[in-house]
């Protein structure tokens, strides 16, 4: 989004030499210009004032000089609509932030997309600056306009425990939603931040909130990514082991599909259904067989998985095992056969040599040997 302020958009050529001196850190020349009547609030077409430039140059003494000459610390530039305090926070300069605030800078001023000084301090991992702004009542729950992120989302994503504690102790909402429905807990799980996940759960974060169109819970993602410790933390905090996503996958479907054996063991021992059906009527065993996860097949069958369960296309786990054009399918199929897999007449006629006609897109040379 582009913001225009046409009446104020002008080239102030009279201020060009002064801006150049500010950028050169030439305090003596800047002081001379100001004593000779130069406007401390003058700006170029972009709206950047002398104070903006001094802040961007990280020159504390220059900022002090310009402010002593009645510069307004709350003027915004025309693009991002940031004040000098935004720039100081973005650079993590605590001293300049303190100076600006002492001269009346608005703590909760927002940029064009809702950015605040606190947002920049948190996103840059500046602990001292974050603490300072919060002590001055910076609002930890102001959201970015489009993404709807809060500072806590950034801290959780980065696994920054100290900043997260500061935010939460100053009223940050634990289960704040972004525009796609993600909470800080969702981000800590996605980014595999174990300590952060533990902290947020201890602070009461809800482990069963679903997000975005996938309707996944944090446990779905932890099971998919093989994060055993995070799965344990979530289950210990009340995560639903058979929660369904938009395709009716449970966390066990994910763990079986991606070959995460220890997570399958954890979920099953916690009571997860081994025969849950997704919207294509696939069970976790179908995925384990289809993707060559032999140990998971053994685990599922030994825990009561239905070995003859049919998908919506009438495929059994055995038939799906044939789809694996490699040696592992023979082990899986032999195991399934040994466990009394039943066949209809049609399935009995299905042999590896028939694979080419059923699955023409696969390389079937291996099956002809």
- Cα dihedral across residues 230, 233, 236, 238: positive or negative: negative
Question: In terms of C-beta density within 10 A (0-12 exposed, 13-18 middle, 19 or more buried), how is residue 302 classed?
Answer: exposed
Q: What is the mean pLDDT of residues 260-276?
A: 98
Residue 316 has pLDDT above 60, yes or no: yes
- pLDDT, tens only, 134-179: 999 999 999 999 999 999 999 999 999 999 999 999 999 999 999 9
Write out the CATH class of domain 1-139: mainly alpha
CB atoms within 10 A of CB 247: 13
**What is the pLDDT at residue 79?**
85
**What is the pLDDT at residue 252?**
99
Helix (H, G, I), strand (E, B) or coil at 211: strand
Q: What is the mean pLDDT of residues 20-37?
A: 91
pLDDT confidence of 11, banded at 50, 70, 90?
Answer: very low
Q: How far apart are the first and last CA of the chain?
A: 62
**What is the pLDDT at residue 102?**
98
Q: Taking the domains of the chain in order of start, what are their residue ranges?
A: 1-139
Helix (H, G, I), strand (E, B) or coil at 123: helix
The three-state DSSP-derived secondary structure of 247-301 is CCCCHHHHHHHCCCHHHHHHHHHCCCCCCCCCCCCCCHHHHHHHCCCHHHHHHHH
Query: pTM of this prediction?
Result: 0.83
Q: What is the mean pLDDT of residues 202-228?
A: 96
- pLDDT, tens only, 67-114: 999 999 999 998 899 999 999 999 999 999 999 999 999 999 999 999
Q: Whole-angstrom Cα distance, residue 154 to residue 123?
A: 6
Please say whether the beta carbons of 178 and 114 come within 8 A.
Answer: no
pLDDT confidence of 44, banded at 50, 70, 90?
Answer: low
- pLDDT, tens only, 184-211: 999 999 999 999 999 999 999 999 999 8
**What is the pLDDT at residue 265?**
98
Q: What is the mean pLDDT of residues 283-311?
A: 95
Residue 335 has pLDDT above 90, yes or no: no
Residue 13 has pLDDT above 70, yes or no: no
pLDDT confidence of 321, banded at 50, 70, 90?
Answer: confident
Nearest to 11 by CA among 37, 48, 57: 48
Residue with tokens 């009561």: 304
**What is the pLDDT at residue 212?**
82
Contact partners, residue 174, CB within 8 Å, separation at least 6: 152, 168, 183, 184, 185, 200, 203, 204, 205
Q: What is the mean pLDDT of residues 339-352?
A: 48
Residue 43 has pLDDT above 90, yes or no: no
Radius of gyration of the chain (CA): 30
Nearest to 222 by CA among 237, 209, 210, 234: 234
**What is the pLDDT at residue 184?**
98
């Amino acid at each position: 989004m582009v913001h225009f302020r046409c009446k104020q958009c002008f080239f102030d050529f009279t201020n060009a030499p002064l801006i150049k001196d500010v950028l050169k850190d030439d305090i003596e020349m800047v002081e001379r210009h100001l004593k000779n009547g130069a406007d401390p609030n003058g700006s170029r077409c972009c709206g950047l004032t002398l104070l903006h430039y001094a802040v961007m140059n990280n020159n504390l003494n220059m900022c002090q000089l310009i402010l002593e000459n009645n510069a307004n610390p709350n003027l915004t530039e025309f693009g991002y609509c940031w004040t000098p305090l935004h720039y100081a926070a973005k650079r993590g300069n605590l001293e300049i932030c303190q100076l600006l605030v002492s001269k009346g800078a608005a703590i909760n001023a927002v940029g064009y997309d809702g950015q605040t000084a606190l947002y920049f301090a948190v996103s840059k991992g500046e602990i001292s600056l974050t603490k300072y702004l919060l002590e001055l009542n910076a609002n930890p729950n102001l959201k970015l306009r489009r993404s709807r992120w809060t500072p806590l989302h950034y801290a959780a994503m980065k696994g920054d425990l100290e900043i997260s504690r500061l935010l939460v102790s100053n009223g940050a909402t634990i289960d704040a939603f972004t525009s796609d429905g993600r909470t800080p807990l969702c981000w800590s799980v996605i980014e595999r931040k174990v300590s952060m996940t533990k902290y947020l759960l201890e602070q009461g974060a809800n482990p069963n909130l679903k997000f975005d169109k996938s309707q996944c819970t944090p446990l779905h993602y932890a099971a998919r990514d093989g994060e055993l410790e995070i799965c344990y933390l979530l289950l210990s905090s009340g995560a639903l082991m058979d929660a369904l996503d938009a395709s009716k996958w449970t966390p066990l479907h994910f763990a079986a599909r991606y070959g995460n054996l220890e997570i399958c063991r954890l979920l099953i021992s916690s009571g997860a259904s081994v025969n849950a059906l997704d919207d294509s009527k696939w069970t976790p065993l179908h995925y384990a067989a289809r993707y060559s996860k032999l140990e998971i097949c053994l685990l599922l069958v030994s825990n009561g998985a239905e070995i003859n369960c049919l998908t919506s296309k009438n495929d059994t786990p055995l038939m799906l095992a044939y789809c694996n054009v490699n040696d592992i399918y023979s082990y899986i199929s032999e195991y399934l056969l040994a466990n009394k897999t039943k066949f209809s007449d049609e399935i009995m006629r299905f042999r590896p040599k028939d694979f080419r006609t059923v699955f023409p897109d696969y390389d079937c040379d291996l099956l002809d040997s």
